Structure 1
């Protein structure tokens, strides 16, 4: 059954690339995609929250997605993520992703304001009903609209082409409850949405990870999945502990800044963060560099 999964193993959440003037740099983005393909990553995830989707226009997101589709060349799946406040904008973006040639759609819940479970169900169902592509539910607590296990199961079970779940809750009880509520026989791909939860997600039947760490350091993320799939449970747990240390090092600066700085240390230019996000201070950069050196990553 694992061979039937579209997203299996390590999938990278691509990072938006801006030059020093905060203008989108597609050449830099293309190089990032090349780096991922050469590393052997199993999929490309476009315009996630960590891909600065809230700081880019739809036009910019589609430009980046087209580059990812071209660079993937049909060798690995490309997923287009929707993070919009208005349903009409979400519908427009979905159709533009389809036209750009993505292999699947991921839908993030609307953010900031609170929405009822019925409204969120209708939001996901109406979007899923627009396409024949596989659809994944993204549960991002940062939106202030965390989907309950019951709501995730309802969305998955009642929409035929909703086939998977990107879980960023970091809540193992939540995740077990979701897995328990999927109706028998339903094709379901549970993918970790946090590098901190790859191992526990795999142990309860998950199939992989949409990773931010792999944007800079793909090998340990690829390794933890492959080690687990080989049946070496103890080895996979040891690799997860290593990943936790990497994650701590990269989070030693404001959102994304640590990842972009770390990338520059290995010769992968991902540019600057876009305002109002802030860059890492020199003190933070020094600490990140020292920690990555101690982990033998640079």
Structure 2
């Protein structure tokens, strides 16, 4: 669907409601700075706390503001297969370019159940499907053999890998077709996953530094591994601070420092602790982000 840096974009709120104006500003900021795709209503977008009607407003706003400039991929996963299918059909009807499906969480499932779940969702749409492996949140890992099984489903075109397990990612690369996309789901592993045959990153950091994240990707793709590694190391502490509290708490705090959004999250998430926010702001000043 894309190569390079796609942003897992935040969902801004104001007075408890979706802040459409702020969202449109964020979208322009992303596209103007080279982001290759908008990943809407993922983990970073606080999708789990949005109603069906709010989801429609967010997706519709993204599609209309984007105006077909870059691909829009919508997170439609759920731990209930019927709900995931419902969300997927909604995204397709509204004009999304692709979907991202997270592993069922909380109730969990066997590998057989995982394949059945992903297949049911993929069969409910004509859109390209990206699997999303984030066992730190779901308590379930997508093993390579499941990824391989799903790669045989025509419209399953890739995986967002946030397991942090480089050996697993190498095994996936060894087994899947050459054109199967592998995206890093961890901002601190962009260069390592490129080295494993990856194709880019679905990035939280891109909310704040979209140009730099895309530059990192382009450098590696153009053969300048040294420059890509320089950028990976330059922003390592900043990335660490973006995950010192639960995502998207810190990245929203960073965007507040940049005057893009209000400092609002949906419960049970709460604003960043002051001591951590001060560390984040200090690092942003060091990097000339603010």
Match of 1:280 in 2: 272
- Over aligned residues, Cα RMSD in angstroms? 1.5
TM-score by length of 1: 0.93
In structure 1, C-alpha distance between the alignment counterparts of 2:242 and 2:212, rounded to whole Å: 14
Asked if 1:89 is matched to 2:83, the reply is yes
Q: Give the structure 1 partner of residue 169 of structure 2.
A: 175
Distance in 2 (CA, whole Å) between partners of 1:65 and 1:97 is 7
CA distance in 2, matches of 1:239, 1:70: 33
Q: Name which of 196, 201, 226 aligns with 2:218.
A: 226
Alignment deviations for residues 131-161 of structure 1 (CA, whole Å, 9 cap, x no partner): 221111111111111111111111112x011
Corresponding position: 1:149 with 2:144: yes
- SS class of match (1:51): coil
Instruction: Find the counterpart in structure 1 of residue 229 from structure 2.
Output: 237
Hey, what does 2:42 align to over in structure 1?
A: 48
Q: Which ranges of structure 1 fall in alignment gaps of 5 or more residues?
A: 1-5
Cα distance change, pair 115–253 in 1 and its aligned pair in 2 (3 A): closer
State the Cα deviation string for residues 18-37 of structure 1 (Å, max 9, x = none).
Answer: 11x32222222122111111
Scaled by the length of structure 2, the TM-score of the pair is: 0.95
- After TM superposition, give the deviation of residue 249 of structure 1 in Å: 2.7
Query: C-alpha separation between the residues in 2 aligned to 1:282 and 1:271?
Result: 12
Query: Any conservation in 1 of the 2:77–2:87 contact (CA below 8 Å)?
Result: no
Structure 2 runs not aligned, ≥5 long:
none
Residues 87-106 of structure 1: CA deviation (Å, up to 9, x unaligned): 11111111100011011111
Aligned to 1:135: 129
Structure 1 residues 129, 135: closer, same or farther in 2, change over 3 A? same
CA offsets 1:48-84 (integer angstroms, 9 cap, x no match): 1121111112221221111111122112100011121
**Aligned positions, number:** 289
Q: Deviation per CA, 1:231-283, whole angstroms, max 9, x where unpaired?
A: 10111111111232221232344432221121122221154111111112322
- Contact kept, 8 Å, 1:156 with 1:182, in 2: the verdict is yes
